[in-house]
Amino acid sequence: MFFLHRKKHRHWLVFSILGLLGVGMVIYQQRVALRDIFETLKKEELPLAVGKSELGRPSAEPANTEDITEQNLPEEINLKIPYTVQAPRANWDEEHREFCEEASVLMVARYFQGKTIPGPDEAEAALQDIKQWEIANLGFHKDTTAAETARILREKFKLKDVETIVNPTLLNIKAEVAAGNPVIVPAAGRLIGNPFYRQPGPLYHMLVIKGYTKDGKLITNDPGTRRGADYVYPPSTIMNAIHDWNDGDVANGQKVVIVVRNE
């Protein structure tokens, strides 16, 4: 009898261990979905996104003037800039890992055109079109600098008021966005620390600043992750990460951003 009891106990222990392993496997397999749910639950409420027509005609004058102060700015703003991830079909091959510049350009261009990015097929076609323009006009498409990216906006998309600002302040950036002017940020991607990047993160990255919250966080469209629409960063993270390509020595690249204004 004692032997049978021990045998049943051993079976119960084996089944319990197998059950726990099964639960663990399910949790592991669903970890991305569970993380998405967690991120959604903790995501803060953002200001309502506004389009160019709702802002009125943004000033063509630079917003980084000496008379701009925090008190002059709206307490929050969120531009209605369409979003695409740089790998629209979730194919993170070498080509698409390099498409952050093209995706940032596309999002800003569509904002000024008053158009959306309806789906992955159109996004992919548009990114490939930008790539072909770069190859034809720049001779390459990977790792475009701030100046080269500004050229794409001016020449391919005919956006004439495109300026690169060296050593921008946070106030400069907020003032431009408040005026309806998107700000494209070239960055040392590994200083951004987005947990959804493929680790260790991109050496060089580009994203779009589209707004800021009442508590001063920056609202971005970050093409480096499919969760990048309206992705919020602490301002210190972005300001620290701003660096141009600098022939691959990104950590020592110039502090520069691209501002695109309505003509």
Asked whether the predicted pLDDT for residue 6 surpasses 60, the reply is: no
Residue 207 binned pLDDT confidence (cut-offs 50, 70, 90): very high
Judgement on whether residues 34 and 105 belong to the same structural domain of the protein: no
Q: Residue 25's domain spans which residues?
A: 2-39
Count of domains observed in the chain: 2
> Is 235 within the bounds of a domain?
yes
Judgement on whether residues 221 and 139 belong to the same structural domain of the protein: yes
- Give CA–CA dist 229/82, Å, rounded: 8
Judgement on whether residues 68 and 156 belong to the same structural domain of the protein: yes
- Give CA–CA dist 63/13, Å, rounded: 69
Phi, then psi, of 71 in degrees rounded to 5 = -70, -25
- Give CA–CA dist 242/254, Å, rounded: 8
Give the helix ranges, DSSP H, for 114-246.
Answer: 120-137, 146-151, 170-178, 189-192, 235-241
Q: Are 262 and 181 in contact (CB under 8 A)?
A: yes
**Which are the contacts of 161, defined by CB distance < 8 A and separation ≥ 6?**
60, 260, 261, 262, 263
Residue 38 binned pLDDT confidence (cut-offs 50, 70, 90): very low
Residue 244 backbone zone (phi > 0: left; psi -120 to 50: alpha; other: beta) = beta
Question: Given this model, what pLDDT does residue 18 score?
Answer: 62
Residue 56 binned pLDDT confidence (cut-offs 50, 70, 90): low
DSSP annotation string for 17-42: HHHHHHHHHHHHHTHHHHHHHHHHHH
Judgement on whether residues 94 and 173 belong to the same structural domain of the protein: yes
Asked whether the predicted pLDDT for residue 251 surpasses 90, the reply is: yes
Overall average pLDDT of the 13-27 stretch: 58
> Is 109 within the bounds of a domain?
yes
Residue 5 binned pLDDT confidence (cut-offs 50, 70, 90): low
CATH number, domain with residue 247: 3.90.70.10
72-119 per-position pLDDT tens digit: 999 999 999 999 999 999 999 999 999 999 999 999 999 999 999 999
Judgement on whether residues 119 and 198 belong to the same structural domain of the protein: yes
Question: Given this model, what pLDDT does residue 41 score?
Answer: 40
Asked whether the predicted pLDDT for residue 40 surpasses 80, the reply is: no
- Whether the bond between 88 and the residue before it is cis, its omega within 30 degrees of 0, is no
Residue 61 binned pLDDT confidence (cut-offs 50, 70, 90): low
Judgement on whether residues 31 and 106 belong to the same structural domain of the protein: no
> Is 190 within the bounds of a domain?
yes
